A and B are shown apart, each in its own frame.
Chain A
Amino acid sequence: MTEKNEVDIGELRQITSWLAAADVEFIEIGRPAATVRLTMEKPPRTKLRTRTVHAPDDADGASEPPIAASASSVAVTAHCAGIFLVTHPARSTPLVSVGARVDGGEIVGLLRIAQLCVPVLAPVDGVVVGTLVAHGATVGYGTRLIELAPSA
């Protein structure tokens, strides 16, 4: 398993556009071997907010792969920075619960970016094994959010 040292410029563009929209001045994405810090040149429109995000480590301390290492589970990852929501702000029941069967393309979580709610989609059909990030936690691009056991 190799460590991903290069930073994809497309990913950076996406991250920076989201940061601008959320009026965030800088974001640090920390990994065991390196830290990436992105600073907005323009001052934010509203109050200054800063976020430091650390990509969660694997249990064995190595950096996480972009997608699952094992065939028995698939990690649903964040496609942009935001606040992970298990439940929609206007709802009291979570979008999915452990053991739920989901179809590929189904909404299994949300990312809140300022006033926007963006869906987190199941990449494949499967069964929800667990939620890896707490409701309301700030996540970065690539953070593993939900674990699925793919069907078939």
Chain B
Amino acid sequence: MIEILSSSALATVQDQGREGYLRYGVGTAGAMDRLALAVGNLLLGNPDDAAGIEIPMFPFRVRFLADMAFAITGADCPARLNERALLPWWTVQAKEGDVLTIGVPTSGTRCYLTLAGGVDVPVVLGSRSTQLRGQFGGYDGRQLQKGDVLKAVGEGARTMPLDAPRAAGFGTVPPEFTLPAASALPGATADETAVRVLPAAEYECYCPESLEAFWREGWKVTPQSDRYGYRLAGPTLTAMHAVEKRSHGIVPGVIQVPHNGHPIIQLRDAQPSGGYPKIGTVIEADLWRLAQARIGTKIRFVQTTYPEAVAALEELGGYLARVRNLVELFRSSRH
């Protein structure tokens, strides 16, 4: 059990997403960085569909109202349990009364607090993710506020002797060291995130100069960027003729170009359908990188092929499988 000590944190309870209800107008929601959430759950031995807390604003403070193992993954945030500094991508056991403070990240923009057993909120339409428009799922369908108390699934059923190794915890090497990023164009700087993109149906509607700009530019993530989508600043993209699309389904990663020519990458809280033309789709395997791109930094689109995109997704799956095996070995060797 934890108590939220921060107000106006914009934090929400998310799992891997709500699937299967697009035909009712219900988007998937779910974690922006699904890789970080998955690793947090693996470190704790949680079920894959366990929910965690997505934290986009800092500092974020919680008090533990019971002994509990937890993990922090995602953006590299200076985190302290009481006065003790924690390492990133790490799990450790807290004692009742401990206060966890997660500070402003030095890189990345969102982190995930996972609890042993997973956050205990009702499953709505198959998921514990927060559906903000419509106000259901997660914690009462809203962002967390000061004073909210969250329990973990199966809390109290486990007795965990707090020995030195459990107090010290363990962790993973952050994924960016293990999973190579897409090669960006020469001249890409450190504050740029390269993501692989597959052209979408209206790609060929754009004039050659616009297509060239699309792949060449470092697109700036404007402050109007959030879980709904990333609004990008850069050259105006111009279609060769007027494009009017009938309303159709979209998925996270779809890059729409509204009338003003400024692309928007639709993300987890986006409307699940729309009528704007689509120039491309950020591949699912790179959405976690996008999720960590900070406002004010730049996105570079790297052209890829369908087989490469599928291979990238398989590489992610392989990485998670290896982490799962290692963690299970380690956790069993401690007992």
Residues on A lying within 8 angstroms of B by beta carbon are: 14, 17-18, 20-21, 88-91, 104-107, 112-119, 121
Contact = CB atoms under 8 A, between A and B. Distances in A.
A116 B88 contact: no
A119 B172 CA distance: 11
B235 interface: no
B328 to A, nearest CB: 9
A114 B322 contact: yes
Contacts of A17: 329, 333
B93 to A, nearest CB: 12
Nearest to A119: B168
Contacts of B167: 105
Contact of B177 (A14, A20, A89, A119): A89
A21 B322 CA distance: 8
Q: Is the interface of A mostly helix, strand, loop or mixed?
A: mixed
Interface of B: 76, 87-90, 164-165, 167-174, 177-178, 319, 322-323, 325-327, 329-330, 333
Contacts of B164: 104-105, 121
B87 A113 contact: no
Contacts of A90: 76, 88-89, 174, 177
Contact of A21 (B89, B169, B326): B326
Nearest to B88: A90
B330 A116 contact: yes
Contact of A115 (B76, B165, B319, B333): B319
A118 B177 contact: no
Nearest to A17: B329
Contacts of A14: 333
Nearest to A20: B329
B99 to A, nearest CB: 19
B329 A117 contact: no
Nearest to B86: A107
A105 B163 CA distance: 9
Contacts of B173: 89, 112, 115-117
A115 B87 contact: no
Contacts of A91: 87
Given A18-B329, A90-B76, A116-B170, 20 more contacts: A20-B329, A88-B88, A90-B89, A91-B87, A105-B164, A105-B167, A113-B326, A114-B322, A114-B326, A115-B172, A115-B319, A115-B322, A115-B326, A116-B326, A116-B330, A117-B172, A118-B170, A119-B165, A121-B164, A121-B165
B168 A105 contact: yes
4 residue pairs, one from A and one from B, having the closest CB atoms = A105-B164, A119-B168, A116-B326, A117-B171
Contacts of B169: 119
A117 B323 contact: no
A106 B92 CA distance: 13
Residue with the highest number of chain B CB atoms closer than 10 Å, among A17, A18, A115, A121: A115
